[in-house]
Structure 1
Amino acid sequence: MSIITLTGHLGSIGRIPNLLAKRLNYKLLDRELLIESAQMLGMNQSELEKFDERTNGLGGPLSKFLKYFIEKSAMSGIAGIDPSGLEATFTYSYAETAQGFKSDDLLYIDTMKQIMEGYAEQGNVIFVGRGGQAIFKNNKNAFNFRIVCDPEERIKRFALKANIDENEARKRIVDSDEQREIWHKKYFSIDYRSPYHYNLVMNSLLSDDEKTVDIISTYLDL
């Protein structure tokens, strides 16, 4: 059961995560599922057990981790974990977390890592961003891929997707690149641009999304 991490600049990764998840029949874990996991912290134990039954796969380590926080919150009262706070934390962009925020930094990173590791225990999962290449760097079942693209092409793609002019798209992409670099150095002490963190680095300008998915799928079959 494999773990796949995908890392890409704004405007470079396109539909690759969704296409790859569909091709491999893997669970795709992005920011939305991290938010969902944080929401789960607000469930009581019986509600969480029902959730496990409905989803058929979120039990085990992830369920135990979430139950631990529920129990900790119940026992410690005011010192317990506030699920609404964690949910809000997971909605932050790279820029906001890189610059610092009100939530406890260590709580944020520890919670994110443990939730991701809980999903990884189930296997057959794709993580998009959030430091996956660093979190699973020593996991023999993990395959890390980075998607790059020419900056001018990224600007055109992002302007079209966000329905903004290219000057505004350029500003946002430059800021995003800077903040991603800060974020990875702050939380994981890595230069995420280095090819040494990845099994493969692919240029999405040189092949379309479907071809990139073909390449990744072939690599996994080797």
Structure 2
Amino acid sequence: MAVITISRQFGAGGRTLGKMIGKKLDYRFLDDLILQEIANQAKVSKNMVISMERTAGSMLSKMISGLLSSGYIERMMGEGKGYMDEEVYVQVLYDVMLKLASEDNVILTGRGGQYILEDFEGAFHILLVANKKDRVNFMLKHYKLSEAKAKAAVLSGEKRRTNLYKKFGKKDYNDPNHYHLVLNMSRVSLEKAVDLVCNLVGK
């Protein structure tokens, strides 16, 4: 019985690895469910949550400055007419991550899981890193992007990651002391990474 969090440099293969580990351990990979649970609890649309995560810092400022139309905001809020800004997002994210972790045998990717569940009993925190060239190549191979789009995706993904952690007041997300296991995916295959994580959790 365990909870696995996977943090990663964008393009290092976190979602792919999480799904592979879930299949081998018969754990639930909860990436999409996290989004839906946040939306349900905040009474906003799933698209609003996705947009909040993608913009990671700019959505709220645009709302305040009036650069987004009221119609756009209403569509993003959804039928529940709830409310979401960065503070609400972080508060709800904490609640959702703790709730899902309590179900055991789950895999959670990104979103500060290593901080939220830092002292959670039975949680194992994994960090994936890789050099930029390999991360771009991973996006080319697994997401069928052009080289230009793959490079842009890696760059924008890293910016979102940095901005997201600013919401937690954290800058040390690459510090190995936060993790049980750090994997350099430039040197380790996905299959070997699965074996290492499974050995770590005792399976």
Do both proteins adopt the same fold according to a TM-score greater than 0.5, normalized to the shorter chain? yes
Pick the structure with more helix per residue.
1
Residue type at the aligned position of 1:3: V
Gap change, CA 1:201 and 1:87, over 3 Å in 2 = same
The answer to whether the 8 A contact 2:90-2:167 is kept is no
Aligned counterparts of 2:51 and 2:168: Cα–Cα separation in 1: 14
Under a length normalisation based on structure 2, what TM-score does the superposition of the two structures give?
0.79
Residue type at the aligned position of 1:108: Y
Which of residues 138, 146, 166 is equivalent to 1:157? Answer: 138
Q: Number of residue pairs matched? A: 180
Residue type at the aligned position of 1:20: I
Q: Shift of residue 109 of structure 1?
A: 1.2
Which of residues 50, 61, 72 is equivalent to 1:91? Answer: 50
1:10 is matched with 10
Counterparts of residues 1-222 of structure 1 (less than 5 Å) = 1-13=1-13, 15-30=16-31, 32-38=32-38, 41=40, 83=43, 85=44, 87-92=46-51, 94-101=53-60, 102=63, 103-221=84-202
Larger Rg, first or second structure (1 or 2): 1
2:71 is matched with none
Query: C-alpha deviations, 1:26-58, integer Å up to 9, x for none?
Result: 11111x10233246x3xxxxxxxxxxxxxxxxx
Residue type at the aligned position of 1:124: N
Q: Give 5+ residue unaligned stretches, structure 2.
A: 64-83
Aligned counterparts of 2:133 and 2:52: Cα–Cα separation in 1: 22
Under a length normalisation based on structure 1, what TM-score does the superposition of the two structures give?
0.73
1:53 is matched with none
Runs of 4 or more above 4 Å deviation? none
Gap change, CA 1:160 and 1:93, over 3 Å in 2 = farther
The answer to whether the 8 A contact 2:111-2:164 is kept is no
Q: Give 5+ residue unaligned stretches, structure 1.
A: 42-65, 67-80
Aligned counterparts of 1:160 and 1:210: Cα–Cα separation in 2: 16
Residue type at the aligned position of 2:22: A
